[in-house]
Structure 1
Amino acid sequence: MGVAEDVAAQEFWAGLRLTTQARIGLGRAGDGLPTREVLEFRAAHAAARDAVHNPLDVDALATAVSALGVGEPVHVRSRAGDRSEYLRRPDLGRLPGAVEVVAADRNVADRVAAANSPGARTIWSGAGLGCGDGMGMGAAGSRTDAEEVLAGVPYSGADVGFVLADGLSPRALSDHGVPMVAALMAALGDRYTFAPPVIATQARVALGDHIGAALGVTTVLVLIGERPGLSVADSLGIYLTHHPRPGRTDAERNCVSNIHPPEGLTYARAAQVTAALVDGARRLGRSGVDLKDTSTELPSAATPLVLDASSGRVNDIRRPGPSLVLDAVDPE
Structure 2
Amino acid sequence: MTNSRISQVPTAESELWAALRGRTQARIGLGRAGSALPTRHRLELQAAHAAARDAVHSPFEPDAVAAQLTGTPVIRVRSAAPDRLTYLQRPDLGRRLHPTDRAHLPTGDWDVVFVVADGLSSRAVHEHAAALVRATTALLPQDTPPAPVVLAEQARVALGDDVAHAMGAAAVIVLVGERPGMSAADSLGAYLTYRPRPGLTTDADRNCLSNIRPPLGLPYETAAAKLAALLRAARELGRSGVDLKDESLTGGGGTEGLPE
TM-score (norm. length: structure 1) = 0.71
| Correspondences of 1:134-149 after superposition (within 5 Å) | 149=101
Structure 1, unpaired ranges of 5+ = 99-130, 132-148, 299-324, 326-332
Which of 181, 184, 187 matches 2:133? 181
Change (3 A) 1:212 1:297: closer
Deviation at 1:64, TM superposition (A): 2.2
User: Match of 2:96, as an amino acid?
Assistant: L
- The CA distance in 2 between the partners of 1:153 and 1:285, in whole Å, is 25
Equivalent residue runs for 1:1-332 within 5 Å: 7-65=11-69, 67=70, 69-71=71-73, 73-97=74-98, 131=100, 149-190=101-142, 192-246=144-198, 247-296=200-249
Q: Cα gap change, 1:191/1:16 in structure 2, threshold over 3 Å: closer, same or farther?
A: farther
Q: 1:280, 1:75 → 2: CA distance?
A: 29
Instruction: Give the superposition deviation at 1:256.
Output: 1.0
What is the aligned length?
247
User: Are 2:192 and 2:206, in contact at CA under 8 Å, matched by a contact in 1?
Assistant: yes
8 Å CA contact 1:77–1:202 kept in 2: the answer is yes
One-letter amino acid of the counterpart of residue 179, structure 2: R
Letter in 1 for 2:204: A
Check conservation: 2:79, 2:96, Cα contact below 8 A: yes
3-state SS of paired residue (1:254) = strand
2:226 touches 2:249 (CA, 8 Å); kept in 1? no
- Spell out, residue by residue over 1:275-330, the C-alpha distance to the aligned partner (whole angstroms, 9 max, x if none): 000000000000010002332559xxxxxxxxxxxxxxxxxxxxxxxxxx9xxxxx
Aligned mates of 1:266, 1:290 — CA distance in 2: 26
User: Which amino acid is 1:161 matched to?
Assistant: V
Tell me, in whole angstroms, the C-alpha distance in 2 between the residues paired with 1:38 and 1:191. 54
Cα distance in 1, alignment partners of residues 183 and 141 from structure 2: 34
3-state SS of paired residue (1:257):
strand
- Higher RCO (Cα < 8 Å, 6 or more apart): 2
| Residues 206 and 242, structure 2, Cα contact 8 Å, conserved in 1 | yes
Moved over 6 A (4+): none
Q: Distance in 2 between matches of 1:191 and 1:262?
A: 32
- How many angstroms does 1:60 deviate by? 2.0
Percent identity between the aligned chains?
Answer: 55
- Give 2:42's aligned amino acid: V
Give me the TM-score of the superposition, normalised by structure 2.
0.90
Once residues 16 and 45 of structure 1 are traced to their aligned partners in structure 2, the CA distance between those partners, rounded to angstroms, is 23
SS state of the match for residue 291, structure 1? Answer: coil
- Rg bigger for which structure? 1
